[in-house]
Amino acid sequence: MNRTNRARLDIRSVDEITGSRRLRRMRKADWSRRLVQENRLSVDDLIWPIFLTEGEGREEPIAAMPGIFRYSVDLLPKQAERAARLGIPAIATFPNIDMAKRDTTGSAILDPDNLINRATRAIKEAVPEIGVITDVALDPFTDHGHDGILRDGIILNDETVEQIAEAAVLQAAAGADIIAPSDMMDGRVGAIRDALDAAGFQHVAIMSYATKFASAFYGPYREAVGTGGLLKGDKKTYYIDPANTDEALRETEQDLSEGADMVMVKPGLPYLDIVRRIKDTFAVPTFAYQVSGEYAMIKAAAANGWIDGESAMMESLTAFKRAGCDGVLTYFAPQAAERLRS
Ligand code: PBG
């Protein structure tokens, strides 16, 4: 708009309006933008969730997660070496076990040689310096896809807690550095802490999925671990209502009081307000899980040419840092690490 138009519209000059403050000054060049950048993503912030499958020499693509595969145990060392080379601090494992091994109580979680425990041993043997985070929940082991023991239509809390505490000890014995309960049963963090300590695993940490929401964004994960077709009903009786934030704080406080060393918010991007409240309230190591559906959305839009996938990936990961995350579980971990190193 030229001077004459402005006069006609009776608008003050921009310097009068802003009091001569011009926020664009620092945005004018790459060097000044870098200088004032407040949050920076680094490879040290990345945790790589990987899917496991039985058998040998298997690298199975997951349709709803382009670029992501399930790996058989023999192929894990190569993936762990790749992660270590990129500087990724830790891997989180998620098993897709044989359907024949799944039952109503998820009993295969108590097999010391189950897929998740064999995977931990293989990774630790090949790359001892990388952190291994094992998810402890019944859903990949049950024939109904729920995270707990199902009886008469009810997910039994206390029986489930006992079983996952026992499973956590087996995971620690296999070499897991961090146990990550993702089931949302009440009291599981305290029970796992007690069980680990009693078994001499005082040094094994707990990252609790403190605030896990009953979300629609887990769809592709359920395909990846084979629970999608199995799940009867929904998980609303144990995951948090996506409408709630005070409840998320109470869950976090509870898990911390029971002994959680780190807490996680899941899903990620739609729940950054929860991350910020947790970080501001408790000042503890806080993580978020950029879940399968979030990954799929970015990949799908990028594949259609609707967004620039690489930029959206980096922007979304930076948003986690801005919200207060110390780190992010993301399927983009290797790709983001490569990008950060180049
Ligand atoms: C369940 C579990 C879920 C995910 C990991 N462990 C959710 C679910 O199936 O209900 C989701 C991970 C993702 O979507 O990337 N214990």
Phi then psi dihedrals of residue 66, to 5 deg: -55, 135
Count CB-CB contacts under 10 A for residue 226. 20
Interatomic CA distance for residues 174 and 180, integer angstroms = 15
Interatomic CA distance for residues 152 and 17, integer angstroms = 67
Task: Using the Cα atoms of residue 331, residue 337, residue 340 and residue 342 in order, give the sign of their dihedral.
Answer: negative
Interatomic CA distance for residues 252 and 264, integer angstroms = 9
Q: Residue 213: what pLDDT?
A: 97
The closest of 46, 130, 117, 118 to 80, measured between CA atoms, is 130
* Predicted TM-score (pTM) above 0.90: yes
Give residue limits of the domains in the chain. 42-341
Q: Residue 232: what pLDDT?
A: 85
Q: Residue 161: what pLDDT?
A: 98
CB within 8 Å of 116: residues ≥ 6 apart:
52, 93, 95, 134, 135, 171, 174
CA of 224 to the centre of ligand 1 (A): 10
CA of 134 to the centre of ligand 1 (A): 13
Interface ipTM above 0.85: yes
| Ligand 1 in reach of 96 Cβ (< 6 A) | no
Q: Residue 1: what pLDDT?
A: 53
Q: Residue 8: what pLDDT?
A: 80
| Ligand 1 in reach of 137 Cβ (< 6 A) | yes
- Residue matched to tokens 């709803």: 64
CATH code of the domain made up of 42-341: 3.20.20.70
| SS3 category, 65 | coil
- Give yes or no for a contact between 148 and 155, defined as CB atoms under 8 angstroms apart: yes
Phi and psi based region of residue 189 (left: phi greater than 0; alpha: psi -120 to 50; beta: remaining): alpha
Alpha helical stretches, state H, 199-261: 219-224, 246-258
Q: Residue 110: what pLDDT?
A: 98
Interatomic CA distance for residues 270 and 175, integer angstroms = 33
Q: Residue 3: what pLDDT?
A: 58
pLDDT per residue, tens digit, the chain (342 aa), is 555 676 688 999 999 999 999 999 999 999 999 999 999 999 999 999 999 999 999 999 999 999 999 999 999 999 999 999 999 999 999 999 999 999 999 999 999 999 999 999 999 999 999 999 999 999 999 999 999 999 999 999 999 999 999 999 999 999 999 999 999 999 999 999 999 999 999 999 999 999 999 999 999 999 999 998 899 899 999 999 999 999 999 999 999 999 999 999 999 999 999 999 999 999 999 999 999 999 999 999 999 999 999 999 999 999 999 999 999 999 999 999 999 998
Task: Give the DSSP H/E element, type plus range, for residue 248.
Answer: helix 246-258
CA of 289 to the centre of ligand 1 (A): 10
Ligand 1 atom closest to residue 222's alpha carbon, by position in its atom list: 9
